[in-house]
Structure 1
């Protein structure tokens, strides 16, 4: 479990995103005057006499940074799932080819069903029998 430091609102200097993996986004600095606020420079005004919650705009920006951070991991999860499905489909194909051959199908019939030549089918699956 991640531990967080509790800082009094008046002492908050800014906000940043963080992830369980250790990633931390860049700091969004809290400024003491509305004139010093500049979203393009990661500076946002929040009065010192109230809660130091980040503005909705900063929260949204931090969330977008975090989504960009996890984007590659999400994509890899998709690749992993597709690879697992591909391997399972290959195993099912091997079993059904073996069953078709045992039932008397020719290598030409099997090759045609798979979309390859008779010779390619024979080379791929003849050793399974």
Structure 2
């Protein structure tokens, strides 16, 4: 189980994938997926030679939400974000309570503990609130700034074109819902040096 987010703001192209990882009582974390061993062994370290160091699934004390953060979707992650909230592993399915961050998983399912819709929904909402919500807001701000700058450049070009064909400041101001004086004050600096001088 994982959740993804991709910024839709121009110039702010981030991609994020959030997921659970098992955590042991000493704070060591396993990988978020099984790698090569049976489901009761959790890989905790890539030894670099194609093998892994494992710990027993029965030792898992809980889970944390992590997120691989990519600046560009087609490149490797540039950052790993880790939630401060530990989701405690409980001994029985009747103790499961996602609202209080309590999850149940038998040893063979510790790499994917959320087998209820409530738990998955609660986990995704926490990931969004703690990590993505602020990034999304910054992305919206950056995107709106890019659009504002593009609109200002387009307006500058339009005014330059209008003056180039001889439109008066009165006509330009009227079409832009401003006074002729305001239009002149706003764009006379842009116009100076950009129009060919008549001889």
Please give the range of the TM-score, normalised by the shorter of the 2 chains: 0.7 to 0.9
TM norm structure 2: 0.56
CA–CA separation in structure 1 for the residues paired with 2:55 and 2:114 = 18
Contact 1:25 / 1:62 at 8 angstroms: preserved in 2?
no
Equivalent residue for 1:46? Answer: 105
Taking CA–CA contacts closer than 8 Å with sequence separation of 6 or more, which of the two structures ends up with the larger relative contact order?
A: 2
Which moved further from structure 2: 23-32 or 91-100?
23-32
Alignment partner for residue 30 of structure 1, among 73, 76, 89?
89
1:2-81 pair list within 5 angstroms: 4=31, 5=44, 6-20=54-68, 21-48=80-107, 50-52=108-110, 53-57=112-116, 58-68=119-129, 69-81=131-143
1:24–1:119 distance in 2 versus 1, CA, 3 Å: same
Task: Tell me how large the CA RMSD over aligned residues is.
Answer: 2.2
In proportion to residue count, which structure has more helix?
1
Contact 2:93 / 2:104 at 8 angstroms: preserved in 1?
yes
TM norm structure 1: 0.82
After superposition, give the CA deviation of every residue in 1:68-89 in whole Å (9 maximum; x if it has no partner). 2201101211221121111111
Contact 1:25 / 1:65 at 8 angstroms: preserved in 2?
no
Structure 2 gap ranges (5+): 1-29, 32-43, 45-53, 69-79, 193-199
CA–CA separation in structure 1 for the residues paired with 2:122 and 2:153 = 45
CA–CA separation in structure 2 for the residues paired with 1:59 and 1:25 = 17
Deviation at 1:29, TM superposition (A): 0.8
Larger radius of gyration: 1
Structure 1 gap ranges (5+): none
1:77-96 pair list within 5 angstroms: 77-96=139-158
1:106 aligns with 2:168: yes
